Amino acid sequence: MSINRVNISGNLTRDPEIRATAGGTQVMSFGVAVNDRRRNPQTGEWEDYPNFVDCTMFGTRAEALSRFLSKGMKVAIEGKLRYSSWERDGQRRSKLEVIVDEIEFLSSRNQQGGGYQQGGYQQQGGYSQAPAPQQGGYMPQQPMGQPAPAQPAPAPVSTPPAVDVYDEDIPF
């Protein structure tokens, strides 16, 4: 058994290109830049090294999403790897690309290259992020020297009244 799944997030390196196959299937191509952090052996400092990933999406969703994507946008991609090889001008060429199954916008067009904007697919109605849980969950960090905002007291938990149910009372 083998698994071929890819999850990346990064910035679009170019505006998407949309074209159609001879059969009429829409094909959207774009590039995503993702960073790899490595320690510089001379200085000992951590540095970002970019990796450029070619991405392709097929179908009617490709055409619809191409209108919302533009160079510099931050996106998260889920898909699978596909290897292609061909010959051009007597030279053998090859590439590894991501075939996109899902894409999530992490910044809007007016925030190109910016930070995360809550809401995910804003053009399709969106969703709202639930507030952080009070107990045992993720709590956002406060900057040093600033007091944490006051948290409302949790609502008391009410238990349902006790009911005497016997096995003979259940009809199945």
Q: What is the pLDDT of residues 37-64, one digit of tens each?
A: 999 999 999 999 999 999 999 999 999 9
**95 half-sphere exposure, CB direction, 13 A CA radius:** 11
Tokens found for residue 71: 């160079």
Q: What is the pLDDT of residues 1-47, one digit of tens each?
A: 899 999 999 999 999 999 999 999 999 999 999 999 999 999 999 99
CA pair distance 116, 10, nearest whole angstrom: 11
Amino acid at 48: D
Residue of 6 and 109 predicted with greater confidence: 6
Q: What is the pLDDT of residues 95-105, one digit of tens each?
A: 999 999 999 99
Q: What is the pLDDT of residues 88-97, one digit of tens each?
A: 999 999 999 9
Tokens found for residue 34: 């993702």
Q: What is the pLDDT of residues 116-167, one digit of tens each?
A: 333 333 333 333 344 444 444 444 455 555 555 666 666 666 665 555 656 5
Burial of 75 (0-12, 13-18, 19+ CB in 10 A): buried
Instruction: Catalogue all structural domains in the chain, each as residue range(s) with its CATH number.
Output: 11-38+46-124 (2.40.50.140)
- Tell me, what's the pLDDT at 1? 85
3-class DSSP state of 61: helix
Q: Which of 73, 61, 76 is nearest to 108 (CA)?
A: 73
Tokens found for residue 39: 């320690």
Bridge partners for 87 per DSSP: 92
- Tell me, what's the pLDDT at 5? 96
Asked if 153 and 51 touch (Cβ cutoff 8 Å), the reply is no
- Tell me, what's the pLDDT at 22? 93
pTM summary value: 0.60
- Tell me, what's the pLDDT at 127? 39
